[in-house]
Structure 1
Amino acid sequence: MNQLRTDLTLEAYCELVSAMRPQGYELYALYADDTIVSLAGIEVRVNLYLEKHVFVYDLVTCMNHRSKGYGEMLLHFVHEYARDRGAKYVALESGLARTEAHRFYTDKMDFAITSYAFRKQL
């Protein structure tokens, strides 16, 4: 996870995950042999524009294990997880600079780019 969330200390990460779990956040790992190679942090959510959906907060494959299909396998698991729970969509956000990830989502995983995400620091 620290390869994706480089700005978080272990302490901050643990505090945030503890606060997220009661809201439904779940973290799944994909192992190759005895090594975690990919992670997905997800939550079932409901809102007015996506109705029931699974939101992917975190999706990362270890740098040493990329381009081996692990991210694809884990995201297929997330798709099945969503279908099993009656979700209409799987949704995620990706940073503007992550062009390789964007290509993966659109070209390989058939995601559509449907909106921009905005935020304002307070």
Structure 2
Amino acid sequence: MFKKTIFHKIISGEIKSSIIYQDKYVTAIKDINPQAPIHILIIPNEYIPNSNYINKNNRQLFGYMFYIATKIAKKVHIDQDGYRIILNCNKNAGQEIYYLHIHLLGGKNLGPLLK
């Protein structure tokens, strides 16, 4: 059995959060510790611990998450200046919540990711 995460509770409505988009496949919320002026998390409604668990049965969901990220980028007007989509997988990559999610960041010059 898995440990119920904060994302489970937000998606189910158990915890009220700033949901900015939700459909039957994904939920998007504002990050509570933003690293940029726009920092949104796109979370699948189906529990997947991290990208290592993407398989032939759920692979379309992964692409759909990126599609929704681009729709949200347009909605919040960061599509023209630029944005970054980040996925962390496991501890060394900085994954803090073991529930697959992508970060959409923008609203300022984010600079190079790696130097």
Question: TM tier, shorter chain?
Answer: 0.3 to 0.5
- CA radius of gyration, larger in: 1
- TM-score of the superposition, structure 1-length normalised? 0.40
TM-score under structure 2 length normalisation: 0.42
More relative contact order, 1 or 2 (CA 8 Å, 6+ apart) = 2
- Give the structure with the higher percent helix: 1
Q: Which has the higher strand share?
A: 1
